[in-house]
Amino acid sequence: MIQKEGDLYHLICGICGEHESFNGILEAVEYKKNCGWIRRGRDDGDGWENLCPKCYSIHRWRKKVTQRQNDTIRMGDLMLDWNVAERRLEACEEVAGDFALRFAIKPLRIRFDAGERTAELYNEIMGIAL
């Protein structure tokens, strides 16, 4: 998880403790994506942890690569940017410390991963309060 402390968000490696701090959750998620951090399910099954690129390569833990279509889709007057939606979904998951929020987000993640790209899902993801 990304830990929130005051106004800062800390991205912390679950293995070595390496960390980076950010002013916003979306910034932290963007950095994570761009700098080769990965997320994996925790061994105890409770959520997930983030791994820095160093630990990722040492442990050779490989993420199942799924081909995702994250294109921007126009639906009438509405532009659905699924890259933005995915960042937001991930940001929500990262700050979803409490069970209720995780419970609310999980069905959205399942629909997203299953390839649903509807305006309804998009609006639901973008409508989650961060």
Report 74-103 residues binding Zn ion (CB under 5 A).
none
| Cβ proximity to Zn ion, 16 vs 130, nearer residue | 16
Q: How far is the CB of 56 from Zn ion (least distance, A)?
A: 8
* By the rule CB under 5 A, 1 interacts with Zn ion: no
* By the rule CB under 5 A, 11 interacts with Zn ion: no
State which of residues 28, 55, 80, 95 lies at the interface with Zn ion (CB under 5 A).
55
| Cβ proximity to Zn ion, 16 vs 75, nearer residue | 16
| Cβ proximity to Zn ion, 62 vs 74, nearer residue | 62
SS3 annotation, the chain: CEEEECCEEEEEECCCCCEEEECCHHHHHHHHHHCCCEEEECCCCCCEEEECHHHHHHHCCCCCCCCCCCCEEEECCEEEEHHHHHHHHHHHHHHCCCHHHHHHHHHHHHHHHCCCCCHHHHHHHHCCCC
* By the rule CB under 5 A, 126 interacts with Zn ion: no
* By the rule CB under 5 A, 12 interacts with Zn ion: no
| Cβ proximity to Zn ion, 59 vs 106, nearer residue | 59
Q: What is the largest CA-CA distance in the chain?
A: 48
Residues contributing to the site for Zn ion (CB under 5 A): 13, 15-16, 18, 52, 55
